Amino acid sequence: MGLSRSALLWCSQNKWMKTNIPNYQFVKSAAKRFIPGEKITDALKAAESFNELGIGNVFTYLGENINDLSEAESVTDQYLDLLDKINQSGNNIEISLKLTHIGFDFSFDKTLDNFFKLASEAKKLDNFVWIDMEQSSYVDRTLEFYAKVHKKYKNTGLCLQSYLYRTKDDLEKLIEISPNIRLVKGAYMEPAHTAFPRKQDVDNNFFELMKFLLKNNSGNRNAAATHDTELISKLEAFMNAQKIDKDSIEFHMLYGIKYSEQIRLVNTGYKTIVLISYGDAWYSWYMRRLAERPANIGFVLKNMFTK
């Protein structure tokens, strides 16, 4: 792991910085590259332009590791309200959340109750709920959680991370329940005995895991969440060689990154989705986005000296 990436991930977890850095206007301005705004109305407005192009969206109400279960209830209500607003908008928008945002640090069962409320409402509205994977310490419980959820609600999906050594084994076990999977590279600080330290190894594992999904998870959602155009090209070439239909894969990207590639993919016939985040708890999420591509620090520095 490069020094700059390690430093950014450390910053994402520092309590003082979480409290104070978001108050600086230049940081707020720089963050708008990845977040259209803090309000749900900002996210909905951004989604309209994507939907007009045939690109869907996934919304995340930012936050994680809450302080108590009463806060989990409030977040659950926020997501229920979000599902209603999405339905009213008529746009193609799903939701994605972190389990620690709805109580996972305090109660597995209460978190399950909260999630069931969301999955049930989403099902009624013909919508879908993704579960974001968090640090490696949460993986075992999250896999157990998803197995329980998916048994009852098929309109649910799980994020897995290619930088973890264990993900291949986890995926092979999950295939038995016909999962919906969104594969990402991973954006948390993990020790070398847990995650691949080298980017090339993370990329190679991503490619192998996606090939495994395409071969073994037909009929379910297989989402490649990456902005790496080289990886995307390799996946396209693999699918062409294996005569795998384009509807066997979907590409997920973040708001503000690789817009031209998003357009190319949807125009080529691939299901393309842009993840839009909103809310005032954006600092940790934003620092992890910078860590994924430290070159973006230049964008932040530029905003420090630009009115």
Report the b/e string of 70-107 with b at 16+ CB within 10 A: eebbebbebbbebbeebbeeeebbbbbbbbbbbbbbee
Q: Note if 245 is an active site residue.
A: no
For the CA atoms of 109, 114, 120, 125, the dihedral, rounded to the nearest 10 degrees, stands at -160
User: How many whole angstroms separate alpha carbon 85 and alpha carbon 91?
Assistant: 10
Name residue, tokens 């098929």. Answer: 154
State whether residue 219 is helix, strand or coil.
Answer: coil
CA–CA gap between residue 6 and residue 206 (Å, rounded): 21
Q: Which of 108, 96, 105, 95 is nearest to 137 (CA)?
A: 105
Q: How far is CA 195 from its chain centroid?
A: 18
Which of these is catalytic: 182, 203, 288, 289?
Answer: 182
Contact by Cβ (8 Å): 184, 193:
no
Position of tokens 């993986």?
Answer: 139
Look up 170 and say whether it is catalytic. no
Alpha helices in the chain (DSSP H): 3-13, 15-20, 25-31, 40-52, 69-89, 108-124, 139-152, 167-174, 199-216, 229-242, 259-268, 283-292, 297-304
Active-site residue identified among 5, 33, 132, 288 = 132
Closest by CA to 58, choosing from 146, 152, 132, is 132
Sign of the alpha-carbon torsion through 306, 297, 235, 144: negative
Active site residues: 132, 182
